[in-house]
Amino acid sequence: MKSNYPVVSLIFLMILLNGFSQTTHDETISESVSVNDTIHHIKGLVLDFDKQTPLPYATIYALNNHQGTVSNEKGYFSLNLAGLEPPDTLRFQYIGYKTRNLPVDQSDTLMIVYLTENIFNLSEILIFGGNPDPKAIVKKVLENKDSNYKSTTSKKQVFIRERNFQNIEDFNIKYKKSSIPELDRETLEMVEKKFPRNFTSFSDFLGNLYFNKNLDDSVNFKIDPVRIVALKEKNMADLEQLESVFESVFANTAQDEYWKARSGIFGDKIDLEEDSVNMEKDSLNEDKMQMKYYGRNLQYRIRYSLMDDKDQWEFLYKTGAYKYTLAGGTNVNGEDVYIIDFTPKSSGHFTGRMFITTQTYALIRADYEYAPGKTGRDIHLLGFGYTETQFGGSIYFEKNNDIYTLKYFSYRRGTNASVDRNFSLIKKRKKFFIDKKLKELKVGFYISMAVDESFEYLVLDSQSISLDQFNACEQKKTMDIIYVDQFDDKLWKGYSIIEPTQQMKEYKKQEIHYGH
């Protein structure tokens, strides 16, 4: 989460790009809920009974207070059970499977829960005969979207996990000219050598989000964080040295002067306002994050759940590019549901499964990914390269007072990106007609990188609130971050979270790898 405005000025082209095992168990294993008296947590695994395979994103919650979580992508879960005791009950749900209720027990056994598939012939849920057209059913999802998914003024307690892996495969700066003493040929060679080649980040957020349904209001989204945990970069001395070089460049900028980063027709002024600088330094030195910037990122991420992006939800918008198959029916929370599988034709991209209600045509769950051999956007123009190598998503809605509300979503995206352009950093003085150029650095800039990112969003609790309650919430300017070198269960003692994957548990922040 460290970033500095001078470094951003150097690599703004890279920032532009960023914008652009099966498990088996003996069936005799105890299924009693394990509650440790000290930490009141249950950990376990949800499996398909017949196939013995993990069930990702299964819903687990306590019946008495609906406090719950979901299993991770490997089927593992962790749930805080503070305040629960026999005869309280946990419910395990997975769409297309029979729901199981299991009593809370004070044993110390790891919990293994088996769910049995519950898919039946459509004739059992349809009163009248005939063969429903799966493509027509899918089209009705968008036709009924506005009535099924209505905005409300609400307060939601959420858990959010972000993971990001960046591998810079090639990085080269070719010196052309410089009238900036601090950025001579030798300094640029040092930048090229010491700039980190690998970045890995994990962050977990628990807090309350406030939504205002009146989108015309100036403020319609607020954040009240409870806890944020992130892996901390180690051995940042070299990167901080690079930052100090650029700080010295920007230090003596008069009031009538400014800096501009440019590459061909692309250019942008660098914000050197005192408040902006102080804001960045607060973020760097005090383990804090600016709330408004986190909020902007979060709002952008949440838009995935609106199903508005025609690329990410292509199988809803371009039905002619897909083959749809009715796999059967099931019942979810008292509603009959169509199960529809889909595969791409020549112009489609995704393969997956949807669950659509028979009466309201609401999409209540979807799990999908790029089909084998398929990729997303592939752009190579004017020295920029961008290819979406993978994308997969899962989403789940629950019906509440005739409205379908978001309970969970996740997506994972893989991209390859490159820039091969000339780059200039220019200092100018403002004049009436044409601003005077004072200093300039010009280099040839080449970078290629692979990025793998994922985002998970779990609604732990949701309640409607009034506009006055929304307005009464005051969002702070910054939020504290707990930086750690390795994931530790103790950090989330007493909280319900998405169980970290084994990869996250075993990962320890490594030495940063630099160029040679």
Mean pLDDT, residues 308-332 taken together: 95
pLDDT for residue 288: 76
In the chain, what percentage of residues exceed pLDDT 70?
Answer: 80
Cα–Cα separations (whole angstroms), residue 9 to 12, 197, 266, 441: 5, 18, 13, 12
The lowest-confidence range among 104-108, 143-147, 268-272 is: 104-108
Phi and psi dihedrals of 288, rounded to 5? -125, 155
The helix/strand/coil state of 265 is coil
The helix/strand/coil state of 15 is helix
Region of 361 please: left (phi>0), alpha (psi -120 to 50) or beta.
left
pLDDT for residue 301: 94
Domain ranges for the chain: 5-20+149-311+376-506, 118-143+324-375
pLDDT(125) > 70 = no
Strand ordering across the sheet containing 89-93: 68-70, 59-62, 89-93, 100-103
Largest alpha-carbon pair distance within the chain? 84
- Helices within 303-390 (DSSP H only): 314-317
pLDDT for residue 27: 35
pLDDT for residue 337: 93
More confident residue, 126 or 132: 132
pLDDT(107) > 60 = no
Mean pLDDT, residues 8-17 taken together: 41
pLDDT(71) > 80 = yes
Mean pLDDT, residues 279-283 taken together: 42
pLDDT for residue 439: 92
pLDDT for residue 36: 42
pLDDT for residue 315: 98
pLDDT(137) > 90 = yes
Mean pLDDT, residues 407-433 taken together: 92
- Categorize the per-residue pLDDT at 12 as very low, low, confident or very high, splitting at 50, 70 and 90: very low
pLDDT(34) > 70 = no
pTM: 0.81
- Categorize the per-residue pLDDT at 392 as very low, low, confident or very high, splitting at 50, 70 and 90: very high
Q: What pLDDT, in 10s, does the model give residues 212-257? A: 988 777 789 999 999 998 886 554 555 666 677 778 888 888 889 9
Q: What pLDDT, in 10s, does the model give residues 421-462? A: 999 999 999 988 888 999 999 999 899 999 999 999 999 889
Q: What pLDDT, in 10s, does the model give residues 170-189? A: 999 999 999 998 889 998 88
With vertex at residue 371, the alpha carbon angle to CA 453 and CA 321, rounded to the nearest 5 degrees, is: 115
pLDDT for residue 53: 92
pLDDT for residue 123: 66
